[in-house]
Structure 1
């Protein structure tokens, strides 16, 4: 097959392009993966040169090419589809060919003069797709996780700021969409901040598993065709290059076939997605209306909501985050099935695991950023409406249970519901409590925390 004259990739990449026209995209759009591959090849060249397996001239050229790629060069030459057969071999060979051809140019030779420096014999020395590819996936995941953690933290801080702003806004809490008992809007938004904080901690835990790599295991984890000291040395070099505390798996045979770390990470991403979607459901409910819904809060108006209904504004930012969550949940199922489908000493389905993880991580990051910037930071409260809802709510009768008993409290609730009178007036008219005592029991502080009057 003829390779284009201006290409840095070679015949293996070209065949993969022909075989796998699946997504319409290429791995070159996955910056974290390309940078990770280049870092691995750089570390391998340095380790193999120190061990006497490749010469210093070849090492220097390979390292120089890898550093250019890590800096953003030649990503358009990574042309294979991210979804591919072969357990990632096409991706690994694409990297080997691009690095080899750029290294040849650096050495003063023509691209394709593989007798001088070869994609397999030099760039891929002591390596297999089966240890390079999963290691690159983990490096890509670590980079993406760091960005997601930043966007989650910013969103958490935005919710926390709203919790402080709304700390004095009394409202009715609800269970099963029915009036329950009073709370503050600040407590409600503070809960959203805490939910995110919990998931940040879970994501950090999952990233710890991702730091364990199988580089040096080569084909099935036995380390065949590599130097006895290679695994330890390449991990040391790679850790320094990417500034990560990487760990060589204690059993490389197990690590080469086990995708458990990816399943764990995906499960945490699903957890984040589920909880974010729940929060967005709440925001859409609380802002519903504005005249015939909850209308407790106002989301910032971002765009016209209808092509036919004038003046309609929709909760488009929470809606898009809901859809991201649906995708992440689906991606988790894909990753689960791909990990389960592994056979014997290798999982051939890591390309779809990467593709699914990459989209989950990047879309969750964008979703958190969008929710924070275009929604949460500009939410306002309808304070007067919220206070009025509390005053006419039957739910505040729960606070009276310890003082007038469940039976009398039930009778007050039934009368309030049937007559339309408020609980406060009914309690006074029945003589169940004095006004002073009732005011103490129904003050905002007493309604939103354990009662000091019962201690």
Structure 2
């Protein structure tokens, strides 16, 4: 066992424990039986620490070998090592300080071992004085969230593009199939099944473009602004050097915020991103529900399309198969909409120079992004790609409807056609006879 000490007191830690006293306190204080901080956010924070270490190395700042060791340890973590050392709850007080400290302590201890020392011998490599030098949670955490969000946004935009293309393929394949259009679930006018899928493609295309474009707002970061965005405790050369290095590491066009205090205080850009994901969720929910209804049956529903059978649908009714992928997509959409509400509330509760609820924003935003990435991919590959039309059923429903009657209103007027429909008593063949007599 080793003993670590801070301004609050002392705490004993196991000799093999890679984190330190601040992380241990966070584990006790935020014992929520909830998921840990998203690994993509941890990785982004580590990238920032690596860029900082490289910058200080280049500037010749700090004790010899320390920043080289920190940089090497960042690479170990980014390669997938030590994931179990990052134990802070995704929801925590302190605006993300515990997660930042978790990274600081793990890197300090790994660097200590690399330099021939023991865990906890912070007089040689200190979590704050060395790993966190010139930084604050208040500029590191939001910058890391932007990096993690951009990475996922790029993937989600690509997934939406692929789904759009699949809908367009179905549009072309189904363009010759006449079917009954519906408004408010009631018979409307004739359309083609291809037109229906073409409309879905257009909706997803808008979502893809919106998500692609919002990256521009995420690229502005407050790194180097430290606690309140005024740049206190950060060397000027460091502030300019770290961003250039971080751009190279991430492949992102990160730029310094024109007004770093604004980025430190305000989180409306995350509300914007979440709102665009909500728009995608709304479209996915609508499209998924349409597909559920069109595939309903097989005998008692619309039955205009069939979905690939993926699993048995009942523990009591043999042969029943459910539209499980559209149902899953709809539940993901509901979760994303719920997360959007959480992000909205959390962003609105920032006071003065900082928002204490950044962990909720980060957790909800990254969860929504990952859920949508996975759901859009499953929707495309397990559902939409395999949709088959029932042309005969589409024709039967169209011919059994009054859809053709609207075409006569231009010549004979709405009221006369309404009377003819009433006189036909629900029989489309009789209605045709009545309308033919008008001619």
Please state which band the TM-score falls in when normalised by the shorter chain: over 0.9
Name whichever of 415-424 and 301-310 sits farther off: 415-424
Match of 1:21 in 2: 31
Name whichever of 182-191 and 42-51 sits farther off: 42-51
Structure 1 residue 406, shift from structure 2 partner: 3.8
Structure 1 residue 151, shift from structure 2 partner: 2.0
Q: How does 1:2-81 map to 2 (within 5 A)?
A: 2-27=12-37, 30-55=38-63, 57-81=65-89
Structure 1 residue 431, shift from structure 2 partner: 5.1
Distance in 1 of aligned mates of 2:352 and 2:61: 30
Structure 1 residue 232, shift from structure 2 partner: 2.1
Structure 1 length-normalised TM: 0.91
**SS of equivalent residue, structure 1 residue 174:** strand
Distance in 2 of aligned mates of 1:250 and 1:409: 65
Match of 2:370 in 1: 362
Please, which of 209, 224, 247 is the counterpart of residue 217 of structure 2? 209
Distance in 2 of aligned mates of 1:25 and 1:249: 32
Contact 2:402-2:428 at 8 Å conserved across structures:
no
Distance in 1 of aligned mates of 2:307 and 2:253: 42
Contact 1:34-1:70 at 8 Å conserved across structures:
no
Distance in 1 of aligned mates of 2:242 and 2:349: 30
Distance in 2 of aligned mates of 1:230 and 1:422: 84
Deviations 1:91-116 (A, max 9, x none): 00100011111112222222222111
Moved over 6 A (4+): none
Name whichever of 59-68 and 389-398 sits farther off: 389-398
Distance in 1 of aligned mates of 2:342 and 2:44: 23
C-alpha RMSD of matched pairs (Å): 1.6
Going from structure 1 to structure 2, the CA distance change for 1:241 and 1:419 (only over 3 Å counts) comes to: closer
Going from structure 1 to structure 2, the CA distance change for 1:419 and 1:84 (only over 3 Å counts) comes to: closer
Match of 2:337 in 1: 329
Distance in 1 of aligned mates of 2:319 and 2:283: 31
Contact 1:51-1:227 at 8 Å conserved across structures:
no
- Gaps spanning 5+ residues in structure 1: where? 433-455
Match of 1:435 in 2: none
Distance in 2 of aligned mates of 1:252 and 1:84: 24
Structure 1 residue 260, shift from structure 2 partner: 0.8
- Gaps spanning 5+ residues in structure 2: where? 1-10
Structure 1 residue 207, shift from structure 2 partner: 1.9
Match of 1:220 in 2: 228
Deviations 1:9-64 (A, max 9, x none): 1111111111111243322xx23112101110011112233334324511211111
Going from structure 1 to structure 2, the CA distance change for 1:297 and 1:371 (only over 3 Å counts) comes to: same
Distance in 2 of aligned mates of 1:426 and 1:217: 79
Distance in 1 of aligned mates of 2:413 and 2:400: 21
Match of 1:123 in 2: 131
Structure 1 residue 407, shift from structure 2 partner: 4.6
Going from structure 1 to structure 2, the CA distance change for 1:422 and 1:7 (only over 3 Å counts) comes to: farther
